[in-house]
Amino acid sequence: MEPLNLAVIVKLEPDFSEGNVSYKPDGTLNRNETKSTLGPHSGIAAKAAFYAKVKYGAKISVCSMGPPWADIALQQAQQTCDADVLHLYSDRIFAGADTLATAETLKTGIEKMQGKMDIVFSGHRASDGETGQTGPQTAWKLGFTFIGNVISYDVNLEKRTVVAKCLLTLNGVPNVIEEIEAPLPVFLTIDPSYKSNFTTVSQRIAFEKYQKEAYERARNFKQSLKVFNIDELGVDKTLVGLAGSPTIVYQVERIPKGKATRQAEVFDGSNSEHIRKVVAKMREALSAMVIK
C-alpha cells in the first residue's frame, strides 16, 4: 500500500491577540506594527492533516503564497502537523493577487510537489479578509473532488477513498451532519469545529512521537523549506498576481454604526456603590420574573 501524500495550504495573517495587535489613529489595522502569525483556520487545517500522519503515517507538504517573512506561518504549521516539506511561493509579481490568482499559484505549487497528491487541506476562511474561496478554487483548478465544512474524516487505504463528515448549517433548519465518501484525490476545507479523535493507546503514542518530531523539525524549519520565485515555480505570469486577478478591492468602507435603540447605563465594577445599584436592579428584574 502506498503511503498517503498530503498537502496543506496556509496563510500568514495578523496576530489579533492583545499585546500584539496595533491600530492606526483612524482605527484601521497598522500592519507594519502588528505581528504576523499563522492564520487560525490554517492552523486547524494543519491539525487535520496531522491526524492522517498519526493514523496512517502520511507524508505532509505545507505551502503558502506570501512575502519572504511568511516562512514563519510555514514554521508554525510544521510544528502543528510535522510537515516533511515546506513550500513558499514568494515573488513581487504574486502581489495584489485575488483568490483566483492565488489559487493558480497554489495549484501550480501542489502539482510540482513530489508524488501523486491524495488529499489537500485548507482552512475554512481567513481572519483578515473574506478569502474563504481560495480553497474551493484551488480544488477546481486541480480537478479534485471538493468537500467543505469537514469536521472529521477517515481514509480507507485499501479502497483509496476518504469518508468525511461535514457540518451543514442552514438557516432555520437544525444543523445536519452529512457523511460523504469520495475516491482520492480530494480537497478538504476544514470546519473550525474540527476535532481529531485518537482512541487507542498506540495512536496516542504515535501522536506524541510525531508531535515531538514536529517540534524538532520546526526548530530547524529552514532545512525543510524551499522558496520559489515565479521562474522557479514556472507559472504563467498572466494568471497570477495583479495581472491574473479579475477582482480588485478598490475601496474599503467602515461599516456605519447602527443606531442604539436600547438604553444602556454604564457601571464601574470597582465602585461598590455601583455594584449595589446593579444588584438592586437584578433583584428587581428577577422578582418580576417570578410567576405569582
Partner 1 sequence: MEKYDVAIIGGGSAGLAALKQLSTLGKQAVLLEAGKKVGVKNISGGILYSKKPNKGRVYNVEDIYGQNFVNEAPLQRKITKYLLHATSKDKVFSMDLTAAHEYQSNFGYSVLMNDLNAWFAQSADESAQKCGGGIVPGVHVNNISWDDEKERTIIQTDELDEFQVKAVIAADGVNSEVAQITRARPKFSAVQLYQGVKAIVKLPEDIINETFAIGADDGEAHLFAGDITLNHLGGGFLYTNRDTLSVGAVYHFDSLLDSPIEPNTLLDALLKNPMITELIKDEVPVRGKIDKTLEKEKQMQIRFAVTKLIKTWYEIRDVYLSSSRRKELIKTGKFNSEDEIKSKLSETREKMSSQYGIQFKTDYVEDEYGAKLIPDGKRCRMKKPYHKNVLFVGDAAGRGVFVGPRIEGLNVGIDDGVRAANAIARALEKNNFSQGYLGEYYTKSIEESPYTKDMKEIDKEYLKIFIDATKDVPKDILSAKHSLVLKLMSSGAIRSMAAKFVNVLGYERLLPVIESEESYVKVPTELAERSGKTISSSYTPSIPLLADRIAKLNYNDDKVSHIKVLNPNNDFMKKLVMLCPTKCYSEENGQVTIQHEGCIECGTCSEQTDWKHPRGEKGINYRYG
Q: How many helices (H) and strands (E) does the chain have?
A: 7, 11
Beta-carbon-side half-sphere exposure of residue 77 (alpha carbons within 13 Å):
39
Strand runs (DSSP E) across 210-281, as ranges?
225-228
Q: How far is the CB of 213 from partner 1 (least distance, A)?
A: 11
Task: Tell me whether residue 22 or residue 169 sits nearer to partner 1 (CB atom).
Answer: 22
- The binding site for partner 1 (CB under 8 A) comprises 18-23, 27, 198-202, 204-205, 208-209, 212
Task: Tell me whether residue 55 or residue 124 sits nearer to partner 1 (CB atom).
Answer: 55
Contact status, residue 226 vs residue 158, Cβ threshold 8 Å? no
Q: How far is the CB of 234 from partner 1 (least distance, A)?
A: 37
Task: Tell me whether residue 201 or residue 285 sits nearer to partner 1 (CB atom).
Answer: 201
Task: Tell me whether residue 22 or residue 156 sits nearer to partner 1 (CB atom).
Answer: 22
Q: How far is the CB of 49 from partner 1 (least distance, A)?
A: 20
Helices 40-56, 201-219: inter-axial angle, 10-degree rounding: 130
Q: How far is the CB of 78 from partner 1 (least distance, A)?
A: 20
Phi, psi (5° rounding) for residue 167?
-95, 120
Q: What is the DSSP string of 25-80?
A: TTSSB-TTTS-EEE-HHHHHHHHHHHHHHHHH--EEEEEEES-GGGHHHHHHHHHH
Q: How far is the CB of 27 from partner 1 (least distance, A)?
A: 5
Q: Is 234 left (phi over 0), alpha (psi -120 to 50) or beta?
A: left
Q: How far is the CB of 201 from partner 1 (least distance, A)?
A: 5
Q: How far is the CB of 284 from partner 1 (least distance, A)?
A: 21
Q: How far is the CB of 75 from partner 1 (least distance, A)?
A: 17
> How far apart are the C-alpha atoms of 65 and 70, rounded to whole Å?
8
Q: What is the DSSP string of 132-195?
A: TTHHHHHHHHHT-EEEEEEEEEEEETTTTEEEEEEEEEETTEEEEEEEEEEESSEEEEEPTT--
Task: Tell me whether residue 112 or residue 274 sits nearer to partner 1 (CB atom).
Answer: 274
Write the CA distances from 115 to 167, 203, 229, integer angstroms. 31, 26, 21
Task: Tell me whether residue 18 or residue 158 sits nearer to partner 1 (CB atom).
Answer: 18
Task: Tell me whether residue 178 or residue 213 sits nearer to partner 1 (CB atom).
Answer: 213
Task: Tell me whether residue 229 or residue 271 sits nearer to partner 1 (CB atom).
Answer: 271
Block residue for cell numbers 491574473: 244
